[in-house]
C-alpha cells in the first residue's frame, strides 16, 4: 500500500471511492484529525499498488506502426490458446516514434489467470526467432530493485553472534523502547547508570513498533509495517529482513532455527520461517484465529495447533503434518479437548479433556510423533484445571479446582504431580484444603510455590518440595504476603510476589523472598506507582519493574512512568523516569552448558574467587567516581559562568537599585540587627540547712 498523492497526474478518485475500505479509512482520518485539532484536511487515501492481474510480455518482434494491429492480433491468439481467451483491448503495446518497443502489457480478469499466464507462456515460442518472456509485476520489481553490483553478504560467525556472553564482568543487556527511541544498555550495578551500547542505526528511528529478543538472545527483532528485521553481533548490525506486511506478533522457536510471525485482521496470516535460510517455509491464513494458536515444542522440532476437537502437529523443518500409524497425514482427533500444552523437556503434549455426560474430565499425556497415550488421569467435579511444567520437564503439575456437588462455587484445589522421569509416569495427588490462586515452579529445581487466599482475603505464600527419590511432597515453609502472583528467579533460590496497580494512579507492590535451609525468609517490600510490568533478568541477580503504556495509547502523564531495577534483595540499582515508555526487555541467555561437577567446584571455591572479582569491582567503581567528578566539575563551571553575568549586573546596578529602594545596600543590610539581652529572673528562693 502506498501513498498516492505524488501521482497527481492520474485520477484515481473513482477507483478509490469504490474501494471497500474507503469509508472506514475516511472515518478514521477524520477522527484522528479531530484529536490532533487539525483543520480537516482532505485525507490521503491508501491504494493497492501491486498490479497482480497484469503481466509484462517481452521479447516480441519489433514492428512499425502499420503492423501494430497485426502483432497484437497474433499475440492475442497465442495467449488465448495457451491461457484464456482475451480481447485485443486487454493488450497494451507502447509505440515510440512509430516503432514498437518489443514488449507489451496484458491485463487478465484476475490474479490466478495472470499467474497461469506466467507459468505457461514464459519461454513460449512466438515465431522462429522470438520466444516470449512473461513476468509478473512483482517479479519485475524484484529484478529492477536488484543492485547491479554483487555485494558479498555479511556472514556472522557464532562468536560474533554470541559476543555479549563473553563480557568480562558478565553483565546482562536490556532493550528499552520509549518515545521514538530504541536503546540497548548494559545493566551496570557498579557504576549505577546503565551503559548505552547502541540506539540503532545513526540518524534513523530504529522502529516505531515493538522489539523482541530471540529465545536464546542471539537476535534482536524489530517490528515494522512491512515485516521484521533481525539484528545481531556486537554492534547490532542488520542480519536479515523478513517481509510480512502488517506483522504484529512474532515468536522464535526455542532452538532459534524457526520463527513464527503473525498479522491480524481479515487477511491475517501466520508465517513460519526458517532462520537458517531466511526463507518462508509455510503460510497459514489466520481466519480470525488469535495469536498463540501455533505453539513450538521444547526444542522447536514440532509445531502444534489446536483446532476444534483436534490437534494438528507439524514437523518444523518441512511444515508437513506428522503421519499416523497408517502413514496418513492427519490431525490427531481428541473429542472434548479443552486445552493443551507442550512439555518443557520432551516432545510430549499434555491435554485437558472436558467433562462429558458419561465421563469425568481427564488429563492425558500424548507422545509426539508416535501419537502414543502415555498417561491418563481422571478428575472428578472439576471446575477448572491448569498445567504447570517444571522448566526441564521433570515434573508436571495439574492443578484442579473442584466444586461442591450441585454448587458451582470452588471448594478446594487438588495438585496432581506427574513424575515424568520415573517409569510409567506415576502420579502423586495432593489434596489441599484451600483454593490456590497462583502457582509457580522453581526453575531447575524440585520445589514449587503457591499462593492461596484465606479468610478476609489474607494471602499466604507456601513453598513445597517434591521428593526426588521417593514420591513424597513436603511443605517447607509458609509466609504471609499481600501480593497475588509469584515470580521465581531464573536461577532459583529467590522469588518475588507482586501485584500490579489495580487501577490508574495506584501503586503496585513487590515482596522479595529467599528460600534457604528449608526456610522461607521475607527480605524486603517495595512499591512502584502504576506498576504494570515485572521481569527477572536471566541471571536472577536483578529484577526490573516499570509502568509501561501502549504505543497506540495517547500519551498520558502518569506517575511512575519509566523503570526501576532492583537487586534480588530489593535494593535499588538504577531508575529512570521516562515519558511515553513502551517496552523493557532483558536479553535472554542460552542454557548453561557447564558440567554440574565444574559448577559445584566453582561454588566451593567461591571465597577465593570472590576476592579477585571484588578487586575488579573496586577498580570499576573508582573509574566511575572519577568520571562523575569530571562531569560535575564541568557542570559547575557551566553554572557559574551562566550566573556570573547577572551577578556582575547586580553589582553594577547598585545605584539604580538604591534609587528604587531609597536605601543603599549597606543601609539595607544594617536595617536591623540582633541584640542579646540577658534577662535574669528568680524563680524561687529556698533555704536549706546543711551540716
Partner 1 sequence: MRPILISCHTRPVIAVKFNKDGDLFFTGSFDGKVSVFWSEPVERLGTFACDGAVKTMTVTEDSKYIVIGTAINGIFIFEVETGTKVKTIEFSSKIHVRDVEFAMGSQQFFMISYESDEKKQSVVYIYDFESVLNREQPSRRDLVRRDRDHYYRGVWGYLNKTIVLGTQNGIIDVVDTKTGELLLSHRAHVNQITSLAFSPDFSMLITASRDCFAKLLDPETLKEIRVFNAQRPLNSAVISPLMLNEGSPKYHCLVAGGQEARDVTTTATDQGGFEITFYNMIFEREIGSVRGHFGPVHSVAVHPRGHMFVTGSEDGTARVHILDQDYFTPAYD
Cβ 626 to partner 1 shortest distance, Å:
16
Cβ 205 to partner 1 shortest distance, Å:
22
Cβ 199 to partner 1 shortest distance, Å:
21
Closest to partner 1 by CB, 409 vs 649, is: 649
Q: How many CB atoms lie within 10 A of CB 118?
A: 17
One of 559, 567, 624, 664 touching partner 1 (CB under 8 A): 559
Closest to partner 1 by CB, 484 vs 506, is: 506
The 10 Å CB-count burial string (b at 16+, else e) for 540-569 is bbbbbbbbbbeeeeeeeebebbbbbbbbbe
One of 67, 226, 371, 657 touching partner 1 (CB under 8 A): 657
Q: Residue 457 — left, alpha, or beta (φ > 0 → left; ψ -120 to 50 → alpha)? A: left
Binding range to partner 1, per CB under 8 A, among 134-142, 426-434, 535-543, 658-666: 658-666
Residues 154-193 interacting with partner 1 (rule: CB under 8 A): none
Q: ∠91-97-101 over CA atoms, to 5°?
A: 45
User: Which run of H or of E encompasses 80?
Assistant: helix 68-82
User: Which run of H or of E encompasses 610?
Assistant: helix 606-652
Cβ 39 to partner 1 shortest distance, Å:
17
Closest to partner 1 by CB, 475 vs 636, is: 636
One of 217, 232, 254, 560 touching partner 1 (CB under 8 A): 560
Q: How many CB atoms lie within 10 A of CB 330?
A: 13
Cβ 194 to partner 1 shortest distance, Å:
17
Cβ 535 to partner 1 shortest distance, Å:
22
Closest to partner 1 by CB, 41 vs 661, is: 661
One of 468, 661, 666, 667 touching partner 1 (CB under 8 A): 661
Long-range contacts of 375-381 (CB under 8 A, 24+ apart): 375/418, 375/425, 375/427, 377/416, 377/418, 377/427, 379/414, 379/416, 381/405, 381/411
The 10 Å CB-count burial string (b at 16+, else e) for 251-290 is bbbbbbbbbbbbbbeeebbbbbbbbeeeebbeebebeebe
Site string for partner 1, 611-640 (x = CB under 8 A): ---------------------x--xx--x-
Beta pairing partners, 414: 400, 431
Q: How many CB atoms lie within 10 A of CB 576?
A: 17
Q: Does 428 bind partner 1 (CB under 8 A)?
A: no
Q: What share of the chain is helix, strand, coil (3-state, %, to 5)?
A: 20, 35, 40
- DSSP E strand boundaries for 390-518: 395-404, 407-419, 427-431, 436-441, 447-453, 459-466, 473-481, 485-488, 494-499, 507-516
Site string for partner 1, 566-605 (x = CB under 8 A): -----------x----------------------------
State the Cα–Cα distance between residues 599 and 592, nearest whole angstrom.
10
Cβ 543 to partner 1 shortest distance, Å:
20
Cβ 561 to partner 1 shortest distance, Å:
8
Rounded to the nearest 10 degrees, what angle do helices 596-604 and 606-652 cross at? 60
Cβ 644 to partner 1 shortest distance, Å:
8
State the Cα–Cα distance between residues 562 and 582, nearest whole angstrom.
9
Question: How many residues of this chain bind partner 1 (CB under 8 A)?
Answer: 30
Q: How many CB atoms lie within 10 A of CB 152?
A: 5
Q: Where are the alpha helices (DSSP H) in 179-271?
A: none
Cβ 573 to partner 1 shortest distance, Å:
17
Binding range to partner 1, per CB under 8 A, among 22-30, 182-190, 407-415, 646-654: 646-654
Cell of 181: 527511541
State the Cα–Cα distance between residues 228 and 250, nearest whole angstrom.
9
Binding range to partner 1, per CB under 8 A, among 6-14, 40-48, 76-84, 647-655: 647-655
Binding range to partner 1, per CB under 8 A, among 201-209, 317-325, 405-413, 642-650: 642-650
One of 647, 665, 666, 669 touching partner 1 (CB under 8 A): 647
One of 662, 675, 687, 691 touching partner 1 (CB under 8 A): 662
Cβ 567 to partner 1 shortest distance, Å:
21
State the Cα–Cα distance between residues 427 and 416, nearest whole angstrom.
6
Binding range to partner 1, per CB under 8 A, among 58-66, 368-376, 460-468, 649-657: 649-657
| Separation of first and last alpha carbons in the chain | 113
Residues 50-79 interacting with partner 1 (rule: CB under 8 A): none
Q: Does 643 bind partner 1 (CB under 8 A)?
A: yes
Binding range to partner 1, per CB under 8 A, among 91-99, 147-155, 169-177, 643-651: 643-651
Q: Does 34 bind partner 1 (CB under 8 A)?
A: no
Closest to partner 1 by CB, 441 vs 533, is: 533
Closest to partner 1 by CB, 124 vs 578, is: 578
Strand order of the sheet with strand 133-136? 91-92, 104-107, 54-58, 133-136
Rounded to the nearest 10 degrees, what angle do helices 606-652 and 654-661 cross at? 70
Q: In the chain, how long is the greatest CA-to-CA distance? A: 151
Binding range to partner 1, per CB under 8 A, among 211-219, 307-315, 461-469, 657-665: 657-665
Closest to partner 1 by CB, 373 vs 651, is: 651
Instruction: Return the SS3 of 611.
Output: helix
Rounded to the nearest 10 degrees, what angle do helices 111-121 and 68-82 cross at? 100
Cβ 642 to partner 1 shortest distance, Å:
6
335 burial (CB, 10 Å; 0-12 / 13-18 / 19+) is exposed
Cβ 371 to partner 1 shortest distance, Å:
55
Q: Does 653 bind partner 1 (CB under 8 A)?
A: yes
Closest to partner 1 by CB, 268 vs 546, is: 546
Residues 496-555 interacting with partner 1 (rule: CB under 8 A): 503-507, 527, 529
Q: Does 667 bind partner 1 (CB under 8 A)?
A: no
Q: Is there a contact between 620 and 195 (Cβ–Cβ < 8 Å)?
A: no
194 burial (CB, 10 Å; 0-12 / 13-18 / 19+) is buried
In angstroms, what CA-CA distances link 328 with 254, 281, 301, 321? 28, 21, 20, 9
Closest to partner 1 by CB, 99 vs 644, is: 644
Closest to partner 1 by CB, 479 vs 527, is: 527
One of 646, 679, 682, 688 touching partner 1 (CB under 8 A): 646
Cell of 659: 534609587
Closest to partner 1 by CB, 217 vs 546, is: 546
Give the footprint of partner 1 on this chain (CB under 8 A): 503-507, 527, 529, 557, 559-560, 577, 632, 635-636, 639, 642-643, 645-647, 649-650, 653, 656-657, 660-662, 671-672
Amino acid at each position: 500500500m502506498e501513498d498516492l498523492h505524488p501521482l497527481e497526474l492520474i485520477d484515481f478518485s473513482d477507483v478509490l471511492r469504490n474501494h471497500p475500505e474507503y469509508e472506514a479509512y475516511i472515518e478514521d482520518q477524520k477522527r484522528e484529525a479531530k484529536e490532533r485539532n487539525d483543520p480537516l484536511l482532505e485525507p490521503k487515501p491508501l491504494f493497492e499498488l501491486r498490479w497482480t492481474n497484469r503481466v509484462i510480455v517481452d521479447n516480441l518482434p519489433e514492428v512499425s506502426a502499420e503492423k501494430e494491429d497485426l502483432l497484437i492480433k497474433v499475440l492475442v491468439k497465442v495467449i488465448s490458446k495457451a491461457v484464456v481467451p482475451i480481447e485485443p483491448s486487454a493488450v497494451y503495446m507502447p509505440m515510440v516514434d512509430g516503432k514498437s518497443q518489443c514488449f507489451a502489457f496484458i491485463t487478465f480478469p484476475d490474479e490466478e489467470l495472470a499467474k497461469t499466464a506466467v507459468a505457461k507462456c514464459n519461454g513460449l515460442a512466438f515465431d522462429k526467432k522470438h520466444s516470449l518472456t512473461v513476468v509478473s509485476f512483482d517479479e519485475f520489481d524484484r529484478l529492477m530493485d536488484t543492485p547491479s553490483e554483487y555485494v558479498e553478504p555479511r556472514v556472522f560467525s557464532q562468536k560474533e553472534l554470541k559476543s555479549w556472553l563473553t563480557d568480562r564482568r558478565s553483565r546482562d543487556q536490556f532493550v528499552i523502547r520509549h518515545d521514538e527511541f530504541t536503546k540497548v544498555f548494559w545493566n551496570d550495578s557498579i557504576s549505577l547508570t546503565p551503559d548505552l551500547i547502541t540506539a540503532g542505526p545513526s540518524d534513523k528511528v530504529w522502529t516505531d513498533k515493538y522489539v523482541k529478543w530471540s529465545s536464546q538472545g542471539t537476535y534482536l527483532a524489530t517490528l515494522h509495517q512491512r515485516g521484521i528485521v533481525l539484528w545481531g553481533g556486537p554492534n547490532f548490525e542488520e542480519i536479515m529482513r523478513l517481509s510480512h506486511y502488517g506483522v504484529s506478533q512474532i515468536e522464535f522457536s526455542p532452538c532459534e532455527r524457526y520463527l513464527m510471525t503473525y498479522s491480524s485482521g481479515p487477511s491475517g496470516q501466520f508465517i513460519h520461517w526458517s532462520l537458517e535460510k531466511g526463507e518462508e517455509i509455510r503460510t497459514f491464513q489466520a481466519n480470525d484465529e488469535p495469536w498463540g494458536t501455533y505453539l513450538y515444542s521444547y526444542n522447536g522440532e514440532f509445531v502444534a495447533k489446536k483446532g476444534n476437537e483436534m490437534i494438528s502437529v507439524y514437523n518444523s523443518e518441512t511444515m508437513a503434518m506428522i503421519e499416523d500409524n497408517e502413514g496418513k497425514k492427519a490431525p490427531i482427533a481428541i473429542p472434548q479437548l479443552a486445552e493443551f500444552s507442550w512439555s518443557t523437556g520432551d516432545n510430549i503434549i499434555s491435554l485437558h479433556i472436558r467433562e462429558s455426560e458419561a465421563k469425568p474430565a481427564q488429563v492425558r499425556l500424548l507422545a509426539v510423533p508416535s501419537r502414543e497415550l502415555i498417561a491418563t488421569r481422571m478428575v472428578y467435579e472439576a471446575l477448572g484445571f491448569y498445567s504447570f511444567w517444571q522448566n526441564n520437564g521433570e515434573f508436571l503439575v495439574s492443578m484442579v479446582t473442584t466444586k461442591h456437588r450441585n454448587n458451582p462455587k470452588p471448594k478446594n484445589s487438588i495438585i496432581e504431580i506427574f513424575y515424568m522421569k520415573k517409569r510409567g509416569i506415576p502420579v502423586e495427588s495432593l489434596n489441599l484444603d484451600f483454593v490456590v490462586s497462583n502457582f509457580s515452579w522453581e526453575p531447575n529445581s524440585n520445589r514449587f510455590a503457591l499462593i492461596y487466599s484465606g479468610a478476609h482475603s489474607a494471602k499466604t505464600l507456601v513453598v513445597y518440595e517434591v521428593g526426588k527419590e521417593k514420591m513424597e511432597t513436603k511443605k517447607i515453609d509458609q509466609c504471609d504476603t499481600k501480593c497475588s502472583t509469584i515470580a521465581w528467579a531464573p536461577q532459583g533460590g529467590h522469588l518475588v510476589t507482586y501485584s500490579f496497580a489495580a487501577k490508574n494512579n495506584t501503586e503496585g507492590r513487590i515482596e522479595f523472598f529467599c528460600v534457604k535451609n528449608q526456610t522461607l525468609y521475607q527480605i524486603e517490600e517495595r512499591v512502584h506507582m502504576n506498576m504494570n510490568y515485572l521481569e527477572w533478568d536471566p541471571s536472577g541477580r536483578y529484577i526490573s519493574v516499570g509502568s509501561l503504556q501502549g504505543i497506540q495509547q495517547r500519551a498520558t502523564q502518569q506517575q511512575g512512568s519509566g523503570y526501576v531495577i532492583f537487586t534480588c534483595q530489593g535494593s535499588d540499582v538504577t531508575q529512570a523516569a521516562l515519558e511515553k515508555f513502551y517496552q523493557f526487555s532483558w536479553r535472554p541467555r542460552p542454557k548453561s552448558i557447564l558440567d554440574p561437577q565444574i559448577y559445584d567446584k566453582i561454588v566451593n571455591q567461591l571465597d577465593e574467587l570472590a576476592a579477585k572479582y571484588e578487586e575488579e569491582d573496586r577498580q570499576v567503581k573508582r573509574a566511575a567516581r572519577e568520571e562523575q567528578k569530571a562531569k560535575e566539575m564541568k557542570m559547575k563551571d557551566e553554572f557559574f559562568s551562566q550566573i556570573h553575568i547577572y551577578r556582575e549586573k547586580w553589582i553594577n546596578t547598585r545605584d539604580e537599585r538604591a534609587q528604587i529602594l531609597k536605601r543603599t545596600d549597606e543601609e539595607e543590610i544594617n536595617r536591623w540587627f540582633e541584640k542579646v539581652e540577658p534577662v535574669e529572673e528568680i524563680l524561687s528562693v529556698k533555704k536549706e540547712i546543711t551540716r
